[in-house]
Amino acid sequence: MRAVQATTPNGAFTVTDVPTPVPGPGQVRVRVHACGVCGGDTIARAGLLGVRLPRIPGHEIAGVVDAVGDGVSAWNPGDRVGVGWHGGHCFTCDACRAGDFVNCVDRRIVGVHSDGGYAEYTVVPQHVLARVPDALTLEQAAPLMCAGITTFNALRHGGARPGDTVAIQGIGGLGHLGIQYAHRMGFRTVAVNRGTAKERIARELGAHEYVDSTRGSVGEALARLGGAVFVLSTVGDSRAQGDLVQGLAPNGRLVVVASEHTPIPVGPDPLVFGRRSVGGWYSGHAKDSEDAMDFAALTGVRPIVQTYPLEAAETVYQSMGKARFRSVLTL
């Protein structure tokens, strides 16, 4: 089969031919139709988290079941399915026994611990597959397997109720979905971004208010709007994230889904006085992915995608930050 591999740490992706994988017991082979290009693919490219090279990256996968191994009971050839970041769990650790599969001590990551979707086929355990609703094309479903599930999951667990003010910081691959999800969930949605170039699209996606972060403190701007019950930060900028705390209403919560790997400067006073909090959110499992896609199909949430052939993976990866808003490799 045709595939794209990371072969050397921080080296360019290589387009090559590799043996088509065969599903073992409890595994399913997926014929990949679409795979999103995500910042998380840097892990395989850079050889991080113990990845063994060569490795096929890609964890925003949508396709069709092609073959099943022994013992597979939930899936049949022809089923439309998605595969996301979460590539498996042990079922036996304390987290798994409590149903908290994403915090499994031996959790697996697709495209890191196993080959991903930059290929014609991929093989995964049957329990990591999510069913794609008919209302979504496979090109639309692919980005929902990471960018979609992350924003949807964080928002639905954030504590905000319909009518509450919710801010989405960053209008990119994650943020443009976060705005749509927040609007469809019934929140008063505030979009935050640098400059005004994306104000029009933010409002078209569902933002009720827009804050230009180049015009002063975003936290102060949110406070003038009455304060946000929940702020979702999709931009890895620790200083900006620290400023957002000023814009939280009492009992408000800032949740980070993007990091630049430096401390967030937050003093204790706004946390103590007002019981504000800062936390993070990490992806989700296959049922979470199904929920994110089902909600999108029901309410009209759709990723804005640009499609490219598999052979363009290196060029697409290099220009990822310029995507409007999610790049998808198609096969």
Number of H helices, E strands in the chain: 11, 17
Contact 114, 87 (CB under 8 A): yes
Question: What is the chain's percent helix, strand, coil content, to nearest 5?
Answer: 30, 30, 40
Q: Of 109, 118, 123, whose CA–CA distance to 4 is shortest?
A: 118
> SS3 for 191?
strand
Res 321: pLDDT: 83
Give the residue from 134, 70, 81 showing the smallest Cα distance to 110: 81
Buried (b) or exposed (e) across 182-196, using 16+ Cβ within 10 A? bbbbebbbbbbbeee
Nearest to 277 by CA among 239, 240, 230: 230
Per-residue pLDDT tens over the stretch 95-145: 999 999 999 999 999 999 999 999 999 999 999 999 999 999 999 999 999
Q: What angle do CA 39, 40, 41 make, to 5 degrees?
A: 90
Prediction pTM value: 0.96
**Res 266: pLDDT:** 96
